[in-house]
Amino acid sequence: MSEDLFKRLVSHCKEYGFIYPSSEVYEGLNGVYDYGPMGVELKNNIKEYWWKAMVQMHDNIVGLDSAIFMHPKIWKASGHVDAFNDPLVDNKDSKKRFRADVLIETEIDKMLAKADKEVEKAAKRFGETFDEKMYRETNPRVMEYIQKAEATEKRLANALKLGDMADLKALIDELEITEPDTGSRNWTEVRQFNLMFSTQMSNTGDDGKLYLRPETAQGIFVNFLNVQKTTRQKIPFGIAQIGKAFRNEIVARQFIFRMREFEQMEMQYFVRPGTEMEWYAYWKEKRMAWHRAVTPAEKLRFKDHDNLAHYANAAVDVQFEFPFGFKELEGIHSRTDFDLSSHSELSGKKMQYFDPELNEHYTPYVVETSVGCDRMFLTVLSNALVDETVPDAKGEDSTRTVLRIAPALAPVKCAVLPLLRNNEELVGKAREVYDSIKLHFLCQYDEKDAVGRRYRRQDAIGTPYCVTIDHETLENGTVTIRERDSMLQERIAIEDIARIVLDRVDMAKIL
C-alpha cells in the first residue's frame, strides 16, 4: 500500500466513523485519537479475539484489570524512572523535535534501498542469467552500501546500549543527516528524554508525584502473589490484561501507529527458571499463528532485537508490513526474573513461588507477549481496505470500496434492507426481521437510497452480510442474503438468518 492509499485509509476511518482526531473542535491534540461508532466495535472485537485466544483457550491463563494509577515506587523498581528514555534531538532552524535513533535508522534504510536499486537495475540488464546472491556479494558498489548500513546499525545499537548520546550526535553529523522538511543540518546535542507522563495525587507522601503507566505489565507483576494464591495456579501459568498505557512519545506520528495514549494486550507467563527459552519459542509460534489467522503470512515476519531492553535476555518483534514498511506490531520478551526480583527488593515482600514438584522456593522467570491493540487495528484495516471494479446492476463497470475484514472481527455483522422505503409492508417486515436478529449480533437497519448504494455503504464498513426484504419475502417468508466479498446472493428463510449468520461470523473460525 502506497503513501496515497495510507492517506485514503486515514480519511476512510474518519468518513465512516472508525477514528477521529482527538479534540478536533479545538484543533486536535497531537498523538491522541478517538474511536468512533464503527471503531469501537472493531476494537472490541479485536480485544475479544485476543482474550479468547489467551484466556479462554488456556486453562492456565487468567485475566486481570489492574488500576492505571500505581505506587510510584513501582516505576523505580521496574527501571522506567531511570531507563525508559528515548534519545531526543532538536533542529535549531525548524525548531522541530526528532528521535535521534529514528533519524539514523531512516538513513540506514536509505543505504539499503540504494543497494536494492543497484540490484534491480542489474537484474534488468542481465535478464534470466542474473544471480542476485552473487551480485550482492561481489559488486563493489552494492557491497559498499550494505557494509556501510551494517556498520552504522552496529554503532547505533552500541551507542543506545551504552547511552552514549555524544556518539549518536557524531553519527548524525558524519552521515550528514538533514531535517526532512527543510534540509537543515543545524542540530542540537542529543539528550535522553524520559517517556513517562506524570501527575499529582495529594496523599501519596513525597511530592505526590504519580506516573501514568507506560505499560500494563507492571500491574500484573505486583499482583503476581494475589493472583497465584487466589487461583491456586501452578507454574507455568499466565496472567493476561488489556488496558491503556501512556507514553510521551517524542514524535507521535503515522496515525494510530505511535500514539501518546494507547492500549496494550499483554500476557506475562511465569515459568521455572531455566525453561524460559522453551516457553519463549512456544509463545513465538503461538502468537504468530494468532496473527496469521487474520493477516496474510507474507505481510508478517519476526525481527530479533539488536538492542535488548534492560529487563530482557531475549526479545523479538512480530512485524507487519504497514503502508509505511515493516514495523513492530507485537513484542515477545523473555524478561527473566528482573521485575519480580526488583519488586521484592524495593517492597521488602518476597515474590516467590513454592514449587511442589521441586520442593523449593524460587522467583519465577517470565515470558511476555505484548501486542498494541491500536496497531492491531491498523493492521486489520491496512489488510482490508480495497478499491475494486465490479459490475453494477446493469452489468457495467463501477468501483466500490470494500473493507474485507474477517467476519468475526467486522463491526456490524448483518444489515437489514427493505427493497423500497415507501412500501409499508416491506418496511414493516424488514423492521420485524431486524428486531428478531439484533439479539444475536450487531445489525444495522437501512432504508435510505437505492439498495445498490446501501450495499456500498455496508461494504465500506466491512459488513459481511446484507439481508434484503423484497416482494417475494411477503409471499413466501424468504429473503436474499448477500455476501460482501463475492457479492453472491442466496435465498434463505427468515427463521434461518440468525443461525446462518451466527455460524459464519463465529470467532471459533479464526481461533
Distance (Å, whole) CA 492 – CA 181: 58
Q: Across 13-60, where does the E strand assignment appear?
A: 19-21, 33-35
The rounded Cα 472 to chain-centroid distance in angstroms is: 45
Residue 401 main-chain phi, psi, to 5 deg? -105, 125
* Beta carbon nearer to ligand GAP, 118 or 328: 328
Burial (CB count within 10 angstroms: exposed 0-12, middle 13-18, buried 19+), residue 17: middle
Closest distance to ligand GAP from the beta carbon of 341 (Å): 17
Does 444 help bind ligand GAP (rule: CB under 6 A)? Answer: no
Closest distance to ligand GAP from the beta carbon of 452 (Å): 38
Does 331 help bind ligand GAP (rule: CB under 6 A)? Answer: yes
Q: What is the dihedral of CA 449, 455, 458, 460, to 10 degrees?
A: -100
Concatenating the DSSP letter of every residue in 298-324 gives GGEEEEE-SS--TT-SEEEEEEEEETT
Q: What is the DSSP letter of 364?
A: P
Does 470 help bind ligand GAP (rule: CB under 6 A)? Answer: no
Distance (Å, whole) CA 42 – CA 412: 9
Which of the stretches 19-27, 70-78, 365-373, 477-485 binds ligand GAP when contact is defined by CB under 6 A? Answer: 365-373
Q: For ligand GAP, which residue of 41, 90, 276, 330 counts as binding (CB under 6 A)?
A: 330
* Beta carbon nearer to ligand GAP, 316 or 415: 316
Please give the grid coordinates belonging to residue 321: 508490513
Closest distance to ligand GAP from the beta carbon of 177 (Å): 23
Q: By beta-carbon distance, which residue lies closest to ligand GAP?
A: 372
Of 319, 342, 338, nearest to 329 (Cα)? 319
Which of the stretches 4-12, 15-23, 57-65, 259-267 binds ligand GAP when contact is defined by CB under 6 A? Answer: 259-267
Closest distance to ligand GAP from the beta carbon of 306 (Å): 14
Query: C-alpha distances in angstroms, 449 versus 232, 287, 499?
Result: 59, 44, 28
Closest distance to ligand GAP from the beta carbon of 255 (Å): 10
What amino acid is encoded at 456 in this protein?
R
Q: What is the DSSP letter of 180?
A: T
Closest distance to ligand GAP from the beta carbon of 372 (Å): 2
* Beta carbon nearer to ligand GAP, 169 or 335: 335
Q: For ligand GAP, which residue of 144, 328, 355, 483 counts as binding (CB under 6 A)?
A: 328
Q: For ligand GAP, which residue of 61, 240, 329, 415 counts as binding (CB under 6 A)?
A: 329
Residue 483 main-chain phi, psi, to 5 deg? -95, 135
Does 171 help bind ligand GAP (rule: CB under 6 A)? Answer: no
Work out the angle between the directed axes of helices 165-174 and 140-162 (0-180°, nearest 10): 160
The residue count for binding ligand GAP (CB under 6 A) is: 19
Non-local CB neighbours of 408 within 8 Å, separated by 6+ positions: 45, 49, 505, 506, 507, 509, 510
Q: Is 79 left (phi over 0), alpha (psi -120 to 50) or beta?
A: left
Does 262 help bind ligand GAP (rule: CB under 6 A)? Answer: yes
Q: Hunting for cell 446462518 — which residue is that?
A: 500
Distance (Å, whole) CA 363 – CA 71: 22
Closest distance to ligand GAP from the beta carbon of 263 (Å): 8
Which of the stretches 144-152, 283-291, 352-360, 363-371 binds ligand GAP when contact is defined by CB under 6 A? Answer: 363-371
Closest distance to ligand GAP from the beta carbon of 100 (Å): 17
Of 98, 61, 467, nearest to 252 (Cα)? 98
* Beta carbon nearer to ligand GAP, 338 or 465: 338
Does 339 help bind ligand GAP (rule: CB under 6 A)? Answer: no
Site string for ligand GAP, 204-243 (x = CB under 6 A): -----------x-x--------------------------
Distance (Å, whole) CA 104 – CA 270: 36
Q: For ligand GAP, which residue of 228, 241, 264, 473 counts as binding (CB under 6 A)?
A: 264
Does 372 help bind ligand GAP (rule: CB under 6 A)? Answer: yes
Does 86 help bind ligand GAP (rule: CB under 6 A)? Answer: no
Which of the stretches 100-108, 161-169, 228-236, 369-377 binds ligand GAP when contact is defined by CB under 6 A? Answer: 369-377
Distance (Å, whole) CA 361 – CA 225: 13
Closest distance to ligand GAP from the beta carbon of 6 (Å): 16
Distance (Å, whole) CA 456 – CA 172: 50
Which of the stretches 78-86, 112-120, 166-174, 326-334 binds ligand GAP when contact is defined by CB under 6 A? Answer: 326-334
Does 68 help bind ligand GAP (rule: CB under 6 A)? Answer: no
Q: Hunting for cell 448483518 — which residue is that?
A: 414
* Beta carbon nearer to ligand GAP, 251 or 492: 251
Binding site for ligand GAP (CB under 6 A): 215, 217, 247, 249, 258-259, 262, 264, 266, 328-331, 368, 370-372, 374-375
